[in-house]
């Protein structure tokens, strides 16, 4: 199992080293506790699906995610939305990866039009390093007549430390470090809108024996930011200032794993803070 988990980490971070087909299904849920905010609590639940296949020698991966969010305010009002995301990734040769997809947001209470299209390119050397960039275009058209167009570029670079089959890896695990920048340009009629934002993010993970530990930090103001390759969209118009998180993945057997994640987020408006707790159950076959 150790070799299989290590290979899974390498595949996820630096690309596909060998061709394999499979299906991945993840059920997840969690909540958000708000401080210094008009919001009280939020509840999140969803399902993620991934299918990898090899139609003509090169590997392709299809991903889809459906998510439901419900936010309760202290005045007893509620806000709800549903998110649908689709993404296709193509692995060309041994060193290149290209992806594109879309994210659509359905707000419960009105007819706002909110959607994102995105793409990305990455060059990698398996188990050594990777470098690439993601590109996002977000469009918001609100029923009150305001609108916003957001252009986001997110370049990144990552590197591995430690041979996965060495003595050091068996005792201390392997490490992967990634640094990412996020530049945003906003055009539109949203009132009091700053038109440019820049933020930085870093994450490191370590596999040691039968778990994977991931730690991450984000710093710098951002608004309408898209994260996690297009699967997470901060669409409510809040200005985010910083965040940090920790995540642990524990495999139960060769096909089943569970994940727990905690994140603290700080907003720029009024000192609002968010404590996010999420749980995931993943099955691969």
Average pLDDT over residues 236-255: 93
* Per-residue pLDDT at 11: 46
Q: What is the mean pLDDT of the chain?
A: 88
Long-range contacts of 69-75 (CB under 8 A, 24+ apart): 69/42, 69/43, 69/44, 70/42, 70/43, 71/32, 71/39, 71/41, 71/42, 72/39, 72/40, 72/41, 72/42, 73/38, 73/39, 73/40, 74/38, 74/39, 74/40, 75/38
* Per-residue pLDDT at 147: 84
pLDDT exceeds cutoff 60 at 266: yes
pLDDT exceeds cutoff 90 at 267: yes
Half-sphere exposure of 205 (CA within 13 A, CB side): 18
pLDDT tens digits, 50-73: 999 887 778 899 999 999 999 999
Least confident of 30-34, 45-49, 158-162: 158-162
Work out the burial of residue 184: count CB atoms within 10 Å of its CB; fewer than 13 is exposed, 13-18 middle, 19 or more buried. buried
Output the DSSP codes for 159-218. EEES-TTSHHHHHH-EEEEEEEEEEEEEEE--TT---EEEEEEEEEEEE-SS-EEEEEEE
User: Quick check: pTM over 0.95?
Assistant: no
In our burial notation (b when 16+ CB lie closer than 10 A, e otherwise), range 130-169 reads: bebebbbebebebeeeeebebebebebebbbebebeeeeb
Q: Which segment, 193-197, 236-240, 263-267, is predicted with the most confidence on average?
A: 263-267
Cα 101 to Cα 13: distance, rounded to the nearest angstrom: 19
Q: pLDDT category, 192, cuts 50, 70, 90? A: low
Cα 240 to Cα 243: distance, rounded to the nearest angstrom: 8
């Amino acid at each position: 199992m150790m070799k299989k988990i290590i290979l899974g980490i390498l595949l996820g971070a630096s690309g596909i080293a060998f061709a394999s087909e499979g299906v991945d299904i993840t059920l997840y849920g969690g909540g958000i506790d708000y401080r210094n905010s008009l919001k009280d609590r939020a509840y999140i639940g969803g399902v993620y699906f991934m299918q990898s296949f090899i139609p003509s020698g090169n590997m392709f991966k299809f991903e889809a995610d459906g998510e439901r969010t419900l936010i309760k305010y202290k005045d007893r009002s509620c806000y709800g939305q549903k998110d649908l995301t689709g993404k296709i990734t193509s692995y060309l040769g041994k060193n290149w990866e290209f992806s594109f997809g879309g994210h659509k947001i359905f707000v419960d209470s009105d007819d706002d039009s909110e959607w994102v299209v995105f793409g990305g390119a990455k060059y990698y050397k398996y188990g050594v390093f990777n470098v690439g960039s993601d590109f996002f275009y977000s469009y918001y058209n609100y029923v009150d007549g305001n609108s916003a167009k957001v252009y986001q570029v997110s370049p990144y670079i990552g590197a591995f430390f430690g041979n996965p089959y060495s003595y050091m890896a068996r005792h201390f695990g392997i490490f992967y470090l990634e640094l990412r920048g996020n530049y945003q340009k906003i055009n539109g009629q949203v009132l009091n809108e700053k038109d440019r934002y820049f933020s930085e993010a870093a994450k490191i993970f370590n596999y040691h024996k039968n778990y994977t530990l991931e730690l991450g930090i984000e710093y710098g103001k951002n608004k309408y930011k898209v994260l996690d390759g297009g699967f997470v969209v901060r669409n409510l118009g809040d200005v985010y200032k910083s965040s940090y998180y920790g995540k642990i993945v524990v495999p139960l057997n060769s096909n089943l794993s569970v994940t727990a994640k905690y994140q603290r987020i700080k907003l720029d408006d009024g000192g609002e803070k968010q404590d996010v707790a999420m749980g995931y159950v993943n099955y691969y076959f």
